[in-house]
Amino acid sequence: MAARSRPDATERVMELVMYLLARDVPKTREEIWRDTGLYAPDGTTDKRQLDSARASFERDKALIRNLGVRITESIEHDGATSYTIRREDYFLPDLQLTPDEQLALRFAAARVDIGETWDLEAVAKLTSTETAASGGDGSLSADVALETAAAQQTAGSLLPRLAAASAERAQVRFAYGGRQRDVQPLGLLCRAGYWYLAAREDGVVKTFRVDRMESDADVGERGAFARADVDVAALLPSEPMEIDFGDDFVARVQIDATMAQQPTAERGRVVERHDDGSVTVTVRVRNRAAFRVWLLDMGRHAVVESPPELVDEVTSWLRALVSDAGDGDR
């Protein structure tokens, strides 16, 4: 397999982790390089290419370990070192958080800007589906944690296989949208707490939400197609509010001077600046849950002005959160 065209460090590390998780047996460095195409062209003897590939491979392993993921090494009969990541060493065990602890976690995740969709993903992974459902109609737990946790559970069993199929250029078949799909997988990306498979179907590059796949993924023979020169990360918007979740409206929000210059506020388009330093912004919303998390991140510094039905909805939602926080023995 030819080496891929300049994958960045984040993409390379993610695919290496997915590859090692998906393997039933440990793989040697040479097998990893050959199967993934992430480091050096298969069979190359160019010393500079090999030295660069070894350095990148060692840096990636060190980064994965520094992130707290254990890579298990073993020595093969021929003396070569092989690598694997065991599922029990990778996935977080159930922390058995109480309902009060889970609610506190949801508030904290929405109030701290830790980048793109990590807040949604962390809440989904750390709170159980059953407990998340107890948040009340219209609450953050019902709209975000419950749906996202269920999606993570559905997608979890498919992700390693889909990542391996992408790396090995193997055709994949699955049911989606009521019919069978035969696709050439190109890679995985995560947006707004959901995983998507980027793939080519009938010559057209598309994205498929993994938790909406209606069957297991049937993976064919490796090397079935040539690697496509496609920027997978650019296939979906990086802004969670702009990813199509069935909503489509423009919200008008006033943000006070305290928050107006912060990165969080800059996710909206400023349409009016006021003498007191506050600004009015508009944002296109196609993902209502992501909008709510963005709004809660600004707390009392932001007020929804329109549309009227959104004002009513947000007011009811915040009242539900306050009511939820007031329940229990505190």
Sign of the dihedral defined by the CA atoms of residues 204, 205, 209, 213, in that order? positive
Could you state, in order of their start, the residue ranges of all structural domains in the chain? 9-90, 99-152+241-326, 157-236
Q: How confident is the model at residue 188 (pLDDT cuts 50, 70, 90)?
A: confident
Q: Are strands 72-75 and 27-28 parallel, antiparallel or unpaired?
A: unpaired
Q: Mean pLDDT of all residues in the chain?
A: 77
Residue 227 has which token pair? Answer: 């690697």
Residue 23 has pLDDT above 90, yes or no: no
**According to the model, what pLDDT value does residue 116 have?**
43
pLDDT in tens, 26-68: 999 888 888 888 888 777 888 888 998 899 999 999 999 888 8
Angstrom distance (rounded) from CA 201 to CA 115: 32
Q: Does position 316 have pLDDT exceeding 80, yes or no?
A: yes
Q: Could you tell me which residues are beta bridge partners of residue 72?
A: 84
Question: Stretch 121-128: mean pLDDT, rounded?
Answer: 48
Helix (H) or strand (E) run with residue 51 in it: helix 47-66
Domain 9-90 class, CATH top level: mainly alpha
Question: Do the bridges between strand 269-273 and strand 302-306 make them parallel or antiparallel, or are there none, so unpaired?
Answer: unpaired
Region of 20 on the Ramachandran plot (φ > 0 left; ψ -120 to 50 alpha; else beta)? alpha
CA angle in degrees (0–180, nearest 5) for 280-284-285: 115
**pLDDT class for 174, splitting at 50, 70, 90?**
very high
Residues contacting 60, CB < 8 A, separation 6+: 9, 12, 13, 16
CB-CB contact of 264 with 278 (8 Å): no
Predicted confidence band at 89 (pLDDT cuts at 50, 70, 90)? confident
Q: What is the pLDDT of residue 114?
A: 41
pLDDT (tens digit, 9 = 90+) per residue, 219-240?
Answer: 999 889 987 788 877 787 777 7
Distance (Å, whole) CA 169 – CA 49: 23
Residue 8: helix, strand or coil by DSSP? coil
> Is the pLDDT assigned to residue 135 strictly greater than 50?
no
